[in-house]
């Protein structure tokens, strides 16, 4: 299992732990989330020469200062972890141990976490002094591919201080600018409104005019975003439609009012099965060419295969009974069947389906 798959697998635990209110202490957070996260980065959490819990150092007049975890290389700290109880608002927490400990060690990176959110800090503003704001924030409950790629820099095989630092400033400022843009879209400032109003309004920009343009600007921003989303969806739908094979198109055209069309073996491919195939293709499009995701129907289920290969089953659509089921194939080639209410529920298992395909492609590269 590669790094991305390990992180996605760990992310699956988050909603279960939150819903069951199973983590109520800092120690529980460490055991259930932080240690597995460090292990996913490739560090041996059971080797104190590589991952040292509660590393002690004297900081000024303070004696016996401890940091929850220190990642070591050649006996020296390279990363420090300060952990809080799951659910803690990290924006309201002062990373006291990190700030003090950072200045007296060789570590260049400090991580403040509640087990789900990870704030990565370094010393971009002042040498040997931890910045007040993180340069990178990773949310385990929302594993985006670009964030996983950034996180991969901190894995044991890829760790390179200079490379991380060279991208840290860009990451920090991109994140802050993105936040400012989000704020303007939600509640545009007067300066922001003036910028656009001056381009379209020929009269004098009095306070009354600015007040009127506040709402106009807000609506225009939302309209722009809606149109961009609509255009992207139309484009994706058009590409998906064009990629459907000729025989599937014929089946789709023949399916009216819930009717299905049978082949010579008496196998029926329903419109819902065709829609399920299209959804799986759309989910996997970012990993593989849509043409590689094939549909092969049988009497008891409809199989979705990679490269139309029975040995590369991705999932099975079990829609022939009164209750719909989705069968997801794991790395052991076993099928895990989960009930779904509608075809759209397939999207809930997007990460699992991507992991299956990633596993097949990884095996092909060996």
pLDDT per residue as tens digits for the range 290-344? 889 999 988 888 999 999 998 899 999 998 877 899 999 988 888 899 999 889 9
Global pTM? 0.57
C-alpha angle 173/178/181, rounded to 5°? 125
pLDDT band at 35 (very low <50, low <70, confident <90, very high): very high
Local confidence band at 250 (pLDDT 50, 70, 90 cut-offs): very low
Residue 259 has a pLDDT of 44
Residue 115's pLDDT band (boundaries 50, 70, 90)? very high
* pLDDT tens per residue, range 6-15: 898 888 888 8
| pLDDT value for 136 | 92
pLDDT in tens, 56-92: 765 555 566 678 899 999 888 999 999 999 888 888 8
CB crowding 36-62: b at 16 or more within 10 Å, else e: bbbebbbbebeeeebbbeebebebeee
Q: Average of pLDDT values for 182-198?
A: 88
Strands 109-113 and 76-83: parallel
* Sole residue written with tokens 């004696």: 63
Alpha helices in 110-160 (DSSP H): 145-151
Q: Helix %, strand %, coil % for the chain, to 5?
A: 50, 20, 30
3-class DSSP assignment, residue 264: coil
Q: 170 pLDDT band (50/70/90 cuts)? A: confident
Name the DSSP letter for residue 89. -
**Pick from 74, 98, 95, 34: which is nearest to 161 by CA?**
74
Q: Which pLDDT value is given to residue 40?
A: 94
Q: How far apart are CA 257 and CA 39, in angstroms?
A: 52
Per the document, the length of the chain is: 366
Report DSSP state, residue 115: S
Strand order in the sheet with 302-306: 293-297, 302-306, 313-318, 325-329, 335-339
Looking at residue 62, what is its pLDDT? 55
pLDDT at 46 over 90: yes
pLDDT in tens, 126-161: 888 888 889 999 999 888 888 898 999 999 999 998
Q: What angle do CA 150, 151, 152 make, to 5 degrees?
A: 90
Beta bridge partners of 73: 76
Q: What residue segments make up the domains of the chain, in order of their start?
A: 3-178, 190-242, 260-365
Q: Find out if CATH 3.90.1570.30 is the number for domain 3-178.
A: yes
Q: Residue 25 class from Cβ within 10 Å (0-12 exposed, 13-18 middle, 19+ buried)?
A: exposed
CB under 8 Å to 15, separation ≥6 — which residues? 141
Tell me the chain's radius of gyration from C-alpha atoms. 26
**Mean pLDDT along residues 252-262:** 47
- Give the burial class of 247: count Cβ atoms within 10 A of its Cβ; 0-12 exposed, 13-18 middle, 19 or more buried: exposed
Mean pLDDT for all residues in the chain: 84
Q: What is the pLDDT of residue 121?
A: 92
Which residues is 159 bridged to in the sheet?
Answer: none
Residue 256 confidence (pLDDT) above 70: no
Reported as half-sphere exposure (CB side, CA atoms, 13 A), residue 14 has a value of 19
Q: 41 with 154: CB under 8 angstroms?
A: yes
């Amino acid at each position: 299992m590669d790094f991305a798959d390990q992180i996605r697998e760990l992310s699956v635990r988050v909603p279960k732990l939150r819903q069951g209110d199973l983590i109520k202490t800092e120690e529980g957070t460490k055991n259930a989330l932080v240690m597995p996260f460090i292990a996913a980065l490739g560090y041996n959490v059971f080797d104190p020469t590589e991952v040292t819990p509660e590393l002690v150092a004297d900081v000024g007049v303070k004696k016996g200062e401890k940091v929850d975890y220190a990642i070591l290389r050649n006996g020296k700290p390279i990363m420090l972890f300060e952990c809080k109880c799951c659910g803690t608002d990290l924006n309201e927490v002062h990373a006291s141990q990190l700030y003090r400990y950072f200045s007296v060690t060789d570590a260049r990176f400090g991580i403040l976490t509640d087990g789900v959110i990870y704030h990565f800090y370094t010393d971009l503003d002042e040498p040997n002094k931890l910045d007040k704001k993180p340069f990178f924030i990773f949310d385990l409950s929302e594993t985006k591919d670009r964030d996983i790629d950034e996180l991969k820099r901190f894995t044991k095989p890829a760790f390179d201080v200079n490379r991380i630092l060279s991208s840290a400033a860009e990451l920090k400022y991109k994140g802050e600018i993105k936040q400012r843009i989000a704020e303007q879209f939600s509640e545009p400032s007067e300066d922001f409104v003036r910028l656009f109003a001056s381009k379209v309004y020929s009269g004098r920009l009095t306070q009354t005019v600015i007040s009127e343009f506040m709402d106009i600007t807000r609506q225009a921003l939302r309209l722009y975003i809606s149109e961009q989303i609509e255009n992207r969806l139309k484009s994706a739908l058009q590409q998906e439609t064009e990629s459907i094979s000729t025989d599937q198109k014929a089946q789709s055209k023949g399916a009216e009012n819930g009717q299905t069309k049978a082949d010579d073996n008496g196998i029926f491919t329903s419109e819902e099965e065709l829609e399920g195939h299209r959804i799986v293709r759309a989910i996997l499009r970012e990993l593989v060419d849509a043409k590689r995701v094939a549909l092969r129907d049988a009497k008891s289920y409809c199989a979705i295969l990679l490269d139309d290969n029975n040995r590369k089953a991705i999932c099975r659509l079990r829609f022939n009974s009164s209750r719909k089921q989705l069968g997801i194939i794991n790395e052991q080639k076993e099928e895990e069947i989960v009930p779904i209410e509608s075809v759209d529920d397939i999207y809930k298992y997007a990460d699992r389906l991507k992991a299956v395909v990633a596993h097949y492609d990884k095996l092909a590269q060996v």
